[in-house]
Amino acid sequence: MTNYLSILKKVYVHPLLWLVIFLAIITGHFIEISMLLCIIFIHEMGHGVAAHVFSWRVKRIGLLPFGGVVEMDEYGNRPIKEELIVVMAGPFQHVWLIVVAYLLHVVNLIPIYYYETFVFYNGMILLFNLLPICPLDGGKLIHLMLTRRYSYLTSSQYSIISSLLFLLGLHVFVLLTVPFHIHLWIVLSFLYLSLYLEWKQRKFHYMKFLLERYYGKKETFQKLKPLKVEGEWPIMKVLEHFYRGYKHPIIIFENGRETGELDENEVLHAFFAEHRTDALTKDLLLHY
């Protein structure tokens, strides 16, 4: 139990959230903001506890003015099933919260207004988080699906692009239906900023993905996925074809003929330890 309670030490409250709470209090909405923050906190703790169960590296659990976030020091080298559970652990919390609220309402322990408000907040947060936009839970699910078909770097880029397309569609919908809804404009601005940061950091996340593989902080690979590459390919181009969850024997071809094979660790070692970032793949055959 003490081990799980240690997660609470990683909870961080954004300074602007205190301002939101203060404004809610002076406008007579203390109970409503309390319910909203309780729901968001339980949602994020769902992610945090699930990650803790699988011994993931949780950096902090942030409560923000427009929601929450669990920051992980993980970069795509955990089993997909684990990440699926961690991602869905947040939305799942809303199911039991609604059930408990219903039972309390049935026995007349909470008034109808607070019951309906609580259920509405739960449904709103659940549906919002399942939107296929990074970094929301729905966007993470899309990324997980893409990693099964594309390389890690390509799937990251595709998930951000698909998120932007959906966000633009949502933007048009807001313009046509509720163009003067200030809260929605704030949320849209936050999502645009998040996508921009995701795009800027995609190469950094990709390098962390490779570093974890190089230093052995990864799952035990049970599947092999041979990569057929040209001898003239730079090492970086080969690394861009690495998939999540697969060990890569690298088969080198020149002029349509197989000339040799490398282990992925040899390529990673040449890139990170020997700093041969501009070397051609065929040059590694001579070296190793």
Residue 9 has what pLDDT? 87
Answering whether pTM is above 0.75, one says yes
Residue 221 has what pLDDT? 66
Mean pLDDT by 10 residues, the chain (288 residues): 75 91 91 95 96 94 89 92 97 97 94 95 96 96 96 97 97 92 89 95 95 77 87 94 94 90 93 90 79
| CA distances from residue 89 to 3, 49, 66, 126, 156 in whole angstroms, order as listed | 19, 9, 20, 12, 22
Residue appearing with tokens 């809804």:
181
- Report phi then psi at 234, rounded to 5: -65, 155
Find out whether 85 and 38 touch, Cβ atoms under 8 Å: no
Tokens coding 274:
């020997």
Residue appearing with tokens 């993931």:
56
Catalytic residue (one of 44, 74, 83, 212): 44
Residue 109 has what pLDDT? 93
Residue 43 CA to residue 139 CA, distance in Å, equals 16
Beta bridge mates, 252: 229, 260
Find out whether 94 and 85 touch, Cβ atoms under 8 Å: no
Find out whether 135 and 194 touch, Cβ atoms under 8 Å: yes
Q: Is 274 a catalytic residue?
A: no
Half-sphere exposure of 281 (CA within 13 A, CB side): 26
Residue 197 CA to residue 193 CA, distance in Å, equals 6
Tokens coding 138:
């729905």
Nearest to 156 by CA among 147, 165, 164: 147
Residue 283 CA to residue 278 CA, distance in Å, equals 10
Cβ neighbours for 95, distance < 8 A, ≥ 6 positions apart: none
